[in-house]
Amino acid sequence: MRRGQQGIALITVLLVTSLALLITAGMLRSHRLALHSSAQQIHQLQLRQLGFAGEAWARQRLHERLPDPKLAVAAGQAWSNGQPQLLIDNGQVDVEIEDLAARFNVTALLTQGPVDEVLVQRWLRLQTLLELPPIDARALQGLSLSDISQLRLVRGVDAHWYSRMQPWIALLGKDATLNINTASTTLLATLEGVTPALASRLIAERAAQGFASVQDFTFTPALIGLGVHANGLGTTSRWFRITTHVRLGQSRLRLESDMARDLKTGQWRLLQRRFLAPGHSESS
């Protein structure tokens, strides 16, 4: 009898010990998961903070290198190059600054009234250059868009059309003009009589400080006689996009920050931020 009771007691102790071990193991596992989750959150916070640091560096650069909003903005000026000197263990921050006035301003087509025919034809030529089925400018008249991605709601705009057009278009103020000093070959080739080859030549010969006026541009010897209209062209800009690429260990982050400058005060303000996956270019 006594041996039986001792056996039961031993089994009970073993069961209690096993249960205690199981509970302890579960608690340790939960603790490890909590630590891992906390580490991940801290890591993501570090990525975002580095993204904000890159944005702040670029914002200060725009403030310092473009002091007068009335002066010409050109691709060869100091604001467009350079990198922040951030010392990061096992990481790197790269920053790009883009003049959004180097893109086609879709806002010019959203008017309730008649659209400038010169801009309509440039819109069509841009789609032709990109080998896309043309979306007539009249399909955009009267639309109220708050983000360029809303073009996907327009009839005829599919994923392929939008992904091809998105890098070349922007939704800016009504007063925005195409900056001939920062415009790419593709955008310059939408101008009247300008071929892609001529557009490449214009960029190769474009001075670092750009053209002082649109008239100086249209009177370039290579353009005389082509009939390039001054409509919708300019040499300044107050809209810029700061793209910060962050690498920290195996993690990547991309931050797009759209900035605009007030012409009266000269102050820069943030329009919107987007955290995107590396290589992703669509507004979210």
Q: What is the pLDDT of residues 142-176, one digit of tens each?
A: 999 999 999 999 999 999 999 999 999 999 999 99
Q: Model confidence at 1, in pLDDT bands (50, 70, 90)?
A: low
- Helix (H/G/I), strand (E/B), else coil: 105: strand
- What tokens appear for 65 in the block? 């290198």
**pLDDT, averaged across the chain:** 89
189 burial (CB, 10 Å; 0-12 / 13-18 / 19+) is buried
Per-residue pLDDT at 25 exceeds 50? yes
Ranges of each domain in the chain: 44-276
pTM of the complete model: 0.83
Per-residue pLDDT at 284 exceeds 60? no
pLDDT at 5: 63
Q: What is the pLDDT of residues 231-242, one digit of tens each?
A: 999 999 999 999
How many of the other CB atoms lie within 10 Å of CB of 39?
10
Collect all residues with Cβ–Cβ distance below 8 Å to 129 and sequence separation of at least 6.
Answer: 186, 189, 190, 196
State the average pLDDT over residues 73-90.
90
Q: Taking the alpha carbons of 184, 79, 169, 110 in that order, is the dihedral positive or negative?
A: negative
- Helix (H/G/I), strand (E/B), else coil: 89: coil
Per-residue pLDDT at 177 exceeds 80? yes
